[in-house]
Amino acid sequence: MELFLDPDDRRSRAVQLYEQLRTAIVEGRLRPGDRLTPSRTVAADLRVARATVTEAYGRLSAEGYIEGRAGGGSTVSGAPSRVRTHSSVGALEPTRRAAGLVQYDPEPTTEAPFDCRPGHLDLALFPVAQWRRSVQRTLNRAPGQYDEPAGTPALRAALANWVARSRGVTATAETTFVTSGAGHAIDLIARVLAGPGTTVAVEEPGYPPVVALLRSQGLRVVGVPVDRDGMVVDAIPTQARMVCVTPSHQYPLGMVMARRRRLELLQWATRAGAAIVEDDYDSEFRHTVRPLEPLQLLDRDGRVIYVGTFSKILSPALRIGFLVAPRTLMPALCATRQAVDWCPPPATQEALTYFITDGYLDHHLRRTRRRYAERHRLMRLALDRFLPDGYRRLPAQAGLHLTVTGPRDPGDPDLAKVLRQQGLRVSSLRRSYAFSPPTTGSLLGFGGLPTEQVTPTVRAFTAALTTHR
């Protein structure tokens, strides 16, 4: 523990040391069993006589705060009865904008026997051996200095090649930018393209963290309804200068934006002089139909910014994603990234580069696509068989979750209690509505469920609905 002496303090130096150490013990900063710095070291650091330090230690020992151990120096003894927690004066308050934000998932690491939260993956599917080999190759040399804000040239080239052949996106290393996930990408885009008060349109219902992120920047966020063909273009406000969409698999309802609607959105953006953020968050997992062209490929005016993430492909713990943007935005994106956190972690980038170029990513995707397609099939069949009257499964041919609508919602306290008793963690559909009266329902993710648990999980879920009813 760092100790200080005030030359203007009228108290003796020994008393000052004693008071600092006693306060640290009483407030819990020094805990039972913690070793005190040897008196000889303290005396040398503070340039005082050793007797000054031993006097302070002796008083603490006499009052039962510390105890000496043969050959082990002095340690904090059992906590005294008058221990109190330290409470600092709350002189600082967040802004109204910051105070209005609500944490989306306050318990991200909490586990349950049947974890059906969207976005949760089966840890058993992570390619540990291949990722370990990729990481080990990065350890052959010491970490370097600060790197490029947009990412290493090698990873940008590997990502551009992969996204071009796997998703049909028009990309080069110069137009590809490495991010810390999709949310970070949208944050950077908004910083570059939208100032405070700018109107940004999002899907309603949609992904709540994106709404919170945009609002935290002082942007005016408006919700645009979706129908079976995706975002209703005619409902986008004329003053909107940025639109965020999930055309490949709308979150949370699951529909795919029709090609006709995609062309309408691009035409609207050209007329309005607006940007489109295409969040392609889990298009790798299509289960029954062929994908449509991404908006970015259909774009002829350079208005689409394509956003992807490895959170669903590999693991959200890696915190790595990417965006593909027009060249005109790259200088501003780089400057903004450098101002915020300088660059992505070079070691993680290098490992991912090896993982892609060595073919491990393609192999991993072939394996996980088969697994997730089977889980999608099992959950779809089980829901169709066991859902009680009044509940309906929404159609979805992609992604890692299915949506169920019905009279009650897992956000209701009484139903939530029954679900907990069944060992279930289910997300509420109502939470995805921020601008209009919500539809009640549940989001059932199957990404984190072993295949053999999918049907039992649905049985437990439908039993909870029946019990609650």
What does the pLDDT average to over 208-227? 97
CATH architecture of 13-76: Orthogonal Bundle (1.10)
* 110 — pLDDT class (breaks 50, 70, 90): confident
Comparison of pLDDT for 385 and 282, the residue scoring more? 385
Domain spanning 126-359 has what CATH number?
3.40.640.10
- Looking at residue 348, its pLDDT comes to 95
Percent pLDDT > 70 in the chain is 96
Domain residue limits, the chain:
13-76, 114-120+363-468, 126-359
Contact between 268 and 303 under an 8 Å Cβ cutoff? The reply is no
pLDDT in tens, 257-311: 999 999 999 999 999 999 999 999 888 888 876 678 999 999 999 999 999 999 9
The reply to whether omega before 252 is within 30° of 0 (cis) is yes
- Looking at residue 60, its pLDDT comes to 95
Listed residue (422, 412, 406, 403) closest to 467, CA to CA: 422
The sheet carrying 441-445 orders its strands as 392-393, 401-405, 441-445, 427-428
Q: Are strands 240-245 and 199-204 parallel, antiparallel or unpaired?
A: parallel
End-to-end Cα, the chain, rounded Å? 59
Residue 324's beta-bridge partner residues? 176, 306
What is the pTM (predicted TM-score) of this model? 0.90
pLDDT in tens, 90-106: 789 999 999 999 898 88
Residue range 114-120+363-468 forms a domain whose CATH class is alpha beta
Listed residue (78, 62, 73) closest to 36, CA to CA: 73
Please state, in angstroms and rounded to a whole number, the distance separating the CA atoms of residues 397 and 415. 28
> In sequence order, what are the residues at sequence separation of 6 or more whose Cβ sits closer than 8 angstroms to the Cβ of residue 177?
150, 151, 156, 185, 188, 322, 323, 324, 325, 330, 333, 334, 337
Lowest mean pLDDT among 50-59, 220-229, 237-246, 281-290: 281-290
